[in-house]
Structure 1
Amino acid sequence: MPVRRFDPQALLLARRECGRKQAEVGELVGVSGARVSAWEKGRSVPDPEKLPGLAMAVFRDLDELFPRDGRPDLADLRADAGYTQAATKELTGTKTAGPVAAAETAKHRLEGRYVEALAANYGVSVEALLRAQERSFGIDVPEPGEAPAPVQQGGEGLPETLAEKIAYLVEQLPAPLSDAELAELGNARTGTETLTTELVRDLRTGAVSSAGDDVLDALAKALNTSPLIWSQDADVQRVIAETLLLKHQIVALAARGGEQQGLSAELLRFVFDVVDEARAETQGGEGAVPR
């Protein structure tokens, strides 16, 4: 997580320049003057969600006073909005902060019904929140207008090892499946007896680090994806990562509901038209993608 850089001296100088006492700043951010003194002396560091209030208290821009290197993830957006993780249960209308905690730690992505509420309270667009969520899952999605991050060996945005990819894909399933269920599903969809519970478990845990094309094909079908997901080609991995991001964005749009705000036929046509155009350019115009 690209945390903001906290500089005790910068805070001290900003407070003195604006003429406020430590007790006054502390009152504004909900701590004691002694705590502010400790921050200014470098004896402790404020929690990330305190930084926006601190910057405001000394009349400074957050990015100027506490700059951050890199693009924000979900935890960064929450902290920049001044919320603790525990406080997000009020934003999502849930009994615990579980949904947000799981997304911030790359365990489960946010359900569509939480996305808009969090985006509104964090003061960002739904698209910005979804980009931040992908970063929480290790996919460094650029902001609009930014150049994509350099391609790294082993693929960009997706886990590198076979076991990590399986774990990642299992996480994307609508409901969790056991190793036995994955084996049964993959065999049914390929019409073979390629997968066993033990083989799926060994591949998922890394006990076995490679497999033949027939096994990988069955496993991909069980996980609702393409065998291309196992490719080591960096460009292929980048395209897959960006396509998965597009999927999550479309799901979030559909979750909004309503003809004007929800997923429209026009948007789907646009997506298909772009894919058709790309295919025509690379294959000499030989047919469109089936719909």
Structure 2
Amino acid sequence: MQSFMGTGVALVTPFKKDFSVDVEALKRIVNYVIDGGVEYLVVLGTTAESATLSSEEKELVISTIKEANNGRLPLVLGVGGNNTAKVVEELKTRDFSGFSAILSVSPYYNKPTQEGIYQHFKMVAEASPLPVILYNVPGRTASNMLPSTVMRLANDFKNVIGIKEAAGDIVQAMKLIQDKPKDFLVISGDDMITLPMVLAGGAGVISVIGEGFPKEFSEMVRLGLQRKVDEAYKLHYLLADSIDMIFEQGNPGGIKEIFKSLGLSENTLRLPLVNVNEDLANRLDAFVKKIVN
């Protein structure tokens, strides 16, 4: 579980102007974040626009990232959904070679009760050949996985090793940290409150902004874990405006604009997502130039 201390990044799927997967750009991004010092990579999460990828494209993304990574960092694969039976089937049939854990989102759209969420993840935990990191993101799922439900899962299933907590609620995060089993990982899923969560006892982050500025953001998290508070907050405030901007008009539109400014990939998104507007694009480009220079 030490593999997932620090900064993981939720990798985008870069597209060419014709909307096909840009394999070479994806390799550049993988190398960029590894060179920037992040601790692990998350594949086919929400930021990857995985909902718009075909099965064949998902396999292409997986194979490209595995090839570019070349065993350098641990890999986490997003495996989740709102059809429990389908998720279980994937867990039983997929080849997980090269991966160290799965990240599984709480069921969206259906709006299950806390008991329904527990039963869903009970099936996931029993079927998964890899450690499971839960993912709570009420802004996308329309239901909040409560700390009491998380603790039931953490205590009942040894392979449920952590949670990516993205409710944006520092009080809820602190409750998780207070009540968790000793080795259970509470991982921030909200870039803006990552440092407070780390200082409260969290394990780190699965980040979006850490993809754009991996050197600065991963160093901030490491400083937080070392309790070097003033140095860590200096980096937090350096990047804070960019965190607001990349989510201002939706994810991953903002981070793809940063990658365009960095010369790593196009800023192409697939519908129903669209590019950020010109004003935000200009502000993001100016921020990149300030940090890079």
TM-score, structure 1 as length reference: 0.27
The structure number with the bigger radius of gyration is: 1
TM-score, structure 2 as length reference: 0.27
Bigger proportion of residues as strand = 2
Q: Return the structure number with greater relative CO, CA threshold 8 A, min gap 6.
A: 2
